[in-house]
Structure 1
Amino acid sequence: MLMHPSRDELLKNIDSAYSLCVIAAKRSKRIRDGEKLMLDDYHSVQPVGKALEEIAHGDILIDPKSQVVE
C-alpha cells in the first residue's frame, strides 16, 4: 500500500494517474540503472518509491510541449 507520498499529493504535480504511472516507471528504471538521485534524503529504499518522492517534491514534471508521434 502506498503511504508516502499520498496519491493526492502526487496528483498535485501530475495531471492524471496514467501519466503518474508512466513517469514513475521510467524514473524508477533510471534510478535502478544508476542515474543520480535528485533528493538528499528518501523515506523509501525501493526505486519506485524514490521516483514517487521525487515527483511529489516537484523535481519531475511533464513537459507540456512533448508530443507522442506514431
Structure 2
Amino acid sequence: MMLEPSIDKLMQNINSKYTLVTLSARRARQMQETKKYLIEDYDSEKYVGIALEEVNQGKLYYSVDEDAE
C-alpha cells in the first residue's frame, strides 16, 4: 500500500483523479519498456509508484491541446 505521496499532494499538480491514474499508468508502461526515469532518487519499487513520485516532484505533467477535436 502506497502512502507517499498522498493523493491530496498529487492532486495539487494534477486536478483530476482520472487524469492522474491514466498519466501514471502510461508513464509506468513507458518506464517498463525504456528503463529511463525522470528522477534519480525514488522510494517505490514499482513503476506506477515511481511515476507518482515523478508527478509529485513536478517532473511528470500533462497539457491539454485546445485545438484537438
TM-score (norm 2): 0.87
Q: Which runs of 5+ in 2 are unaligned?
A: none
AA matched with 2:63: D
* Residue number in structure 1 paired with 2:4: 4
Total equivalences in the alignment:
69
C-alpha displacement at 1:40, in angstroms?
Answer: 1.0
Secondary structure in 2 matching 1:33: helix
Query: Would you identify which runs of 4 or more consecutive aligned residues in structure 1 move more than 6 Å?
Result: none
Distance 2:67 2:51 in 1: 22
Corresponding residue number in structure 2 for 1:14: 14
Residues 68 and 37 of structure 1, relative CA distance in 2, 3 Å threshold: same
- Could you say which residue in structure 2 is the equivalent of 1:29? 29
Identity of aligned residues (%): 33
What is the CA RMSD across the aligned residues, in angstroms?
1.7
